[in-house]
Amino acid sequence: MRRCLRGLRRRDHRLPLVPVRPAQQGLPVTGAVPAAGGRIGLGEFVRRAADAGELVVQPRMGFSSSTAMRAGLLAVKAAPATTVGTITLDSYTRLGDLGAAARAVSAGEDLNGYPIATHPVRTTRAVIDGVRDTAFPVQVRHGSADPRHIFAALVAAGLDATEGGPVSYCLPYGRVPLDESVRNWAHCSELFARLREYSPVEPNLETFGGCMLGQLCPPSQLVALSVLEALFFRRYGVRSIAVSYAQQTNPRQDQEAVRALRRLCAELLPDVTWHVVIYTYMGLFPATPHGARRILTHAVELARTTGAERLIVKTVAEAHRIPTIAENVEALTHAAATAHTVSTTAVPEHEGSDSQTYAEARALVEAVLDSGPDIGRSLLHSFKSGYLDIPYCLHPDNLGRTRSYVDTDGALRWADTGLLPIGHLVRASGRSRVTAAGLMEALSSVRRRYDTVREEVP
């Protein structure tokens, strides 16, 4: 365990590493991981729930106070649903500004998440003690292109489930060069995978690639990025993986995308355990309670009809402020109740193999993998060459030649494929350019649709 922690704290390449000091952070001095206590990992928990016909539901929730964080986890655990707990981190911690996080904690200021690298490790252990167990895993969520201090803190606290990725937590979140993010994530993934040497619980790592940009990234590229980040994690020893996909603008297209994701994972990840996690819409969220509940209902239906095993929910407050604990529990309760009214679909491995989304996603993945044997270098090469290119993403390492639009049927389509290796698969849209007005119209289309149409939901 000490070797694992030393590796996470070690300086590597030319990047400054924020130190985690044993005397201040309460790192284990015995060399032992906190006892698993008969627990199972998040991946195994989700598998068992799926076998029992249950959809696992999970909030995006984090509080700066350890007392509030524990109360939130206890409330999620007690919800009438099959749940996973979440510790979402604050922005200072995500950006590595631990000085600002420490000052905020000392001043008693509320942050927009839990400062895991600032609170003593013993405090974080106390937050999860007696809460996390075989029936209730806890996952850490962050958003960092350089998460070494985060991995050091969560490993020291005995946590074994987190998420992110070298691409998805770099391009839309800041200006960290992509090559640095790839290097940081390779380092963290490899050392995180080694937790199995010290604990019977298999560590679980979830891709964020399927949520890239939140909205307006066509489904085929979301699927490809989620698969590529999963392959990256596997390359560095992770054996339990969750692959993500965020609900987009058209339910039928989303079903096609999730089935394509499952098909590609079955083909390319035969030697690891994996499951699919759906994210309730990540774009401009409906502002009315009925609109918010309706889109959550459709996210549940997407999960159930595609065989997805887990769902990240959103609340009626999402468009306005950080949700309360009670609002998170209400969303979990609504999602679980809805799931019991929708039949689960067992998706054959070949399902989606002949769809447009599958064909595009497969072409993107193959182009990346064909560019070299090292997945990290291949990702870098693919962004430089335009084989991967995120629409409307302004990061310097994104070529920026692709564009997308929302069609009249609500489907998300390519307006310009740039240098993506899918030109032979995509029919010309007839749109030579996407105007600023058209972009704003597309960004708000889902909110308008769900807020305008009133519909009774369970």
Domain for residue 108, yes or no?
Answer: yes
Q: Provide the CATH number for the domain around residue 304.
A: 3.20.20.240
pLDDT at 350: 54
Domain for residue 216, yes or no?
Answer: yes
The H or E element containing residue 226 is helix 219-235
Domain for residue 413, yes or no?
Answer: no
Is the pLDDT score of 113 beyond 90?
yes
Bigger pLDDT: 8 or 411?
411
Quote the CA–CA distance of 133 and 37 in Å, as a whole number.
8
pLDDT digits (tens, 9 = 90+) for 156-194: 999 999 999 999 999 977 889 999 999 999 999 999 999
pLDDT digits (tens, 9 = 90+) for 254-269: 999 999 999 999 999 9
Is the pLDDT score of 133 beyond 70?
yes
pLDDT at 284: 83
Domain for residue 330, yes or no?
Answer: yes
Residues sharing a CB contact under 8 Å with residue 126, sequence separation 6 or more, in sequence order: 66, 70
Quote the CA–CA distance of 259 and 308 in Å, as a whole number.
9
Domain for residue 409, yes or no?
Answer: no
Quote the CA–CA distance of 220 and 426 in Å, as a whole number.
11
The H or E element containing residue 405 is strand 403-406
Is the pLDDT score of 2 beyond 90?
no
Quote the CA–CA distance of 314 and 300 in Å, as a whole number.
11
Quote the CA–CA distance of 251 and 362 in Å, as a whole number.
21
Domain for residue 366, yes or no?
Answer: no
pLDDT at 5: 43
pLDDT at 175: 86
pLDDT at 450: 81
Q: Are 117 and 18 in contact (CB under 8 A)?
A: yes
Domain for residue 345, yes or no?
Answer: no
Q: Are strands 412-416 and 403-406 parallel, antiparallel or unpaired?
A: antiparallel
Minimum mean pLDDT range among 231-235, 300-304, 400-404, 429-433: 429-433
Quote the CA–CA distance of 72 and 208 in Å, as a whole number.
23
Given strand 204-207, what is the order of strands in its sheet? Answer: 56-58, 310-312, 273-279, 240-246, 204-207, 161-164, 138-141, 85-88
State the pTM of this model: 0.90
Bigger pLDDT: 455 or 329?
329
Is the pLDDT score of 239 beyond 80?
yes
pLDDT at 24: 31
Quote the CA–CA distance of 418 and 416 in Å, as a whole number.
6
What is the average pLDDT across 429-440? 71
Three-state SS string over 61-127 comes to: CCCCCHHHHHHHHHHHHHCCCCECEEEEECHHHHHCCHHHHHHHHHCCCCCCCECCCCCCHHHHHHH
Quote the CA–CA distance of 25 and 101 in Å, as a whole number.
14
What is the average pLDDT across 131-136? 95
Structural domain boundaries, residue 142: 2-339
What is the average pLDDT across 79-106? 97
Span between the terminal Cα atoms of the chain, in Å: 48
Residues facing residue 238 across a β-bridge: none
- How many domains in the chain? 1
pLDDT at 11: 36
Is the pLDDT score of 15 beyond 80?
no
Domain for residue 54, yes or no?
Answer: yes
